Structure formats: structure tokens, C-alpha cells
A and B are shown apart, each in its own frame.
Chain A
Amino acid sequence: MNYLVVVALVCISQVAWAGSVTVAVAANFVTPARQIAEAFQQNSEHTVVISSGSTGKLFAQIEHGAPFDLFLAADSQRPRLLEQNGKAVSGSRFTYALGKIVLWSPRPGYVDEHGDILKKGSFKRLALASPRLAPYGLAAQQVMKKLGVWVGLQGRLVQGENIAQAFQFVISGNASLGFVALAQIRAAGSPGSVWQIPGELYQPIRQQAVLLQRGKNSAAANTFFHYLQSGEAREIIRNMGYEVVASGDQSHVAE
């Protein structure tokens, strides 16, 4: 009899405690987010539902009442705006990943180790994400400007709406090479040739997360939000080709 009571209590508490958290994730981070969610769910009763889209689209949806608890953006601007207009819990914003861009071609030996190919310009089309829309596109523009090739290459640039499309332009052969995210070529397992672009050539791509008002009082949302900052989650993020900010060093958040 006692045993039954215990079972019943456990069941009830499960119902009371197990919740679901809906996370809006920038398209470039969906794969790591899924892995993190899987790892999280192994030790938690809460379930994670992932909804992906471009940062701009998700932002617009959140502004108009989309049912998301957390937002993992591809930049820091959109989370900051949400914090400012009260859609996100103020003070919750943090950098969960630093994006790295590379110059990449699926053809081995095509891109050299110093990116000199940009100056030689022996290619017909170079793909990048739109600098106006995508943080990775902006970083690509900064690299080319720093190298002094931005103006000269204008006629040969093709812009994807986001970094995934830039990747698609290159892998389909429609562009000979392109600026893509390191995480993309890791995820696709695509070899070829790569220029690992030095960090000083572009401003860090700070991908920030915020807790949204809807998730403020949800145990599931808060637990997952904390888990994102755990060593385990950071390890997954690093393995996928991103850098992470040193623990406790979120000083740049105010930027």
C-alpha cells in the first residue's frame, strides 16, 4: 500500500515538474542546439522543442507574440533589442558561441593557407552571406575590406540570404569558393581547401541568447537556459566549430 502511494506521488510530481521549453534557434546553430538538447534531456524530465529560422525572422515573430521561451540568435543586436523593448528578461543575455568564418572551396588545393587567392582573383564567383542581413556576411565583408579587395571583387560576389545559402552556392559548384562558417564544413564533413581566417580581420561574431518573457517563470526554460552555460554544453559548442567565451567573462555583453 505504501509502495503504491509512493508510485502515485512520483507520478504526480513528474507531471508537476516535467515541462517543455520551446527554443527559437538561429539557422546556423540548429545542429549544435539539437545535440545540446539531447544531452540535456538525458538527465532531465523536461523536453526541448526547437524552432529554427533566420535571426531576423525569429526576432519579428517574437516581437509579435510567438510562443518561444528562449532565443538563440546569430548576433547580439537582436537579443539586445528584445531586452530593450521588454520582450526578453533583462540581464539574461549572454554570449553562448563565437562564430568563426573561413574561406572555403570543396576543391582540394584551391584555397591557399593565407587567402592570397582573394588578391589573385582567378575565380569567377565568390559566395558570401548578405552583409546586411547576416552576421557572417558582415564578417566576410570586413575581411575583404581589410585586405583591400572588397571594391575590386564587387562584380564577382554572389550573396546568399544567409550563411546556409552561401554554403549551398559553393557546394553546388555555382561559386568556386565562399566565406562560410567553420561549423558548416565541420557539420557537413566536407574536406576541400580552407583558409582559417585570423580573428583580427573581423569583429567577433557574438551569438547571444536571451530568456524571453514567456519562459521567465517556467522551470523547464530556466533549467535549460542554465544548462546552456554549463561545461557540458560548452564542450559540445566547441566541438561543432565555435569558440566559447571564457567562463564568467561576459564583460562584452554590455556592448
Chain B
Amino acid sequence: MSLSETDIQAIWLTLRLASVTTLLLLLVGTPLAWWLARTRSWLKQPVAAITALPLVLPPTVLGFYLLILLGPNGPVGSLMLDLGLDTLPFTFPGLVVASMIYSLPFMVQPLQNAFSAIGDRPLEVAATLRASALDRFLTVVIPLARPGFLTGIVLAFAHTVGEFGVILMIGGNIPGETHVLSVAIYDHVEALDYRNAHMLSAGLLAFSFLVILLLNLVNKRTHQGLGQ
């Protein structure tokens, strides 16, 4: 019972992809979620709908459009070529971009719920104590929204680990670059190598179970009922 070098490489690649994606989503998702939670603009509902799209869209649709959009004949791809950059499909940065889109709602929605639940009152109190906007965010919002952050981080990470359809469409199956865990399992099954497929699948099952268990335990302990 030992994993092949390619499989170990796939596991590391998957963890790296999930970590980078989650970190970037935290940076992009926090202001977006904050805006969604506070704004009264008519744009709120359309933006919220776009954010939620990856929940409903089949990953193959996303992957298919990304392949066309990011390819050298697509608008984004040709722009990148004009700028002297490499196109994104079949590269690790390409997978990060795809994963960020794919896991966006899993980060934004728990955060948005957490931010909404805080309400105006704590922020107004902090403002009367002369806390600046940044100060209010760092010392009031973040601690109060902690369960939301935790839920967002864990879900975005786990969802990226399980990503398959999008990566299959734009990955090109390159070891160390785009050959992630879910694709490795798929390849093993297709090649009738059920032994290795079982090993990786069982590992992923255990991982998923632990993630959800942990999340539930932590959320129960904080008793906030925030997030999902």
C-alpha cells in the first residue's frame, strides 16, 4: 500500500491549488461580501446572482466557457497575448483563476451572512468612540464575523479540493502543473486501476468528512449561528 510518485505529486498540487485559491478568495471575497452586505444599490441583486452562479452552473459549462474565453482566440486570451503574457489554460495560474470563480460563492455567502448579522449598531458605537473605518473593520467586524470567515475558508478550500469538471476541461492533465487529485482518481478508474483509485478516493472521503465534522463542532461551540 504505497502511493506512486505522480499521485503524491497530485496530492501536493491539489493542496497548493486549494491554499492559493482560498487565500486569494479571502482577499477578493471579503470586500465583495462587505459591499453585498451593506449596499442599498440596485446592483446588489444582480451582483449577488452572478456570485451565486457557480453554485448552479455545471462545472463543464464553466470549463467550456473558460477554455474559449481564455484561449488565444478568446477575448481574454488574445488580450493576454497582446500584453506578451502566456495564455492561462493548461497552467497552474489558469487553474487558480478557474478555481476562484468556481469556489467564489462558498467564500462570499458565509461572509455576507456574517456581515449582515452584525448590523449597524456595533459599528455606530465604535464610530462614536472615534474608531476609524479600518479600525472598526479590524477590531469589530472581523472578530464578530469569525465564524463566517472560518466557514468561508473551510468551504472554499474543501470545494477546490473536490473540483473536477472545470479542471478536466482546461487542465490538459500535466503532472505537477494541472494533474490534480480528482483528475488522478478519474484516470485511475478509466485505466481500470481500481486499487489506486480506491486509495485516493478513500483518502478524499475521510478528508471531506473530517472537514464537515470540524466545521460543525467549531460552529456549535461559537454558538453564533452565523454562516451556514
Contact = CB atoms under 8 A, between A and B. Distances in A.
B190 A174 contact: no
Interface residues of A, number: 22
A54 B67 contact: no
Q: When A and B form their complex, which 5 residue pairs have the shortest distance between CB atoms, in order from nearest? A: A158-B172, A56-B190, A173-B73, A159-B173, A174-B71
Contacts of B174: 157-159
B11 to A, nearest CB: 19
Interface string A58-95: 01100000000000000000000100000000000000
Interface string A148-176: 00000000011111000100110011100
**Which has the most chain A C-beta neighbours within 10 Å: B67, B172, B187, B191?**
B172
A172 B192 contact: no
A173 B71 CA distance: 6
B73 A161 contact: no
Nearest to A169: B172
A174 B173 contact: no
B89 interface: yes
Nearest to B70: A174
Interface in A188-206: none
Chain B interface size, as a band, is 20 to 34
Interface of A: 54, 56-57, 59-60, 81, 125, 127, 130, 132-133, 157-161, 165, 168-169, 172-174
A157 B67 CA distance: 17
Contacts of A160: 172-173
Contacts of A57: 189-190
B72 interface: yes
Nearest to A130: B173
Interface in B176-228: 186-187, 189-192
B116 interface: no
B107 interface: no
B113 interface: no
B90 interface: yes
A125 B71 CA distance: 12
Given A159-B174, A161-B186, A174-B72, A125 B90 contact: yes
Interface string B61-88: 0000001100111100100000000010
Given A56-B190, A132-B191, A174-B87, 4 more contacts: A81-B192, A130-B173, A133-B191, A173-B72
B168 interface: yes
B172 A172 contact: no
Contact of A133 (B87, B172, B190): B190
A67 to B, nearest CB: 20
A140 to B, nearest CB: 14
Nearest to B193: A132
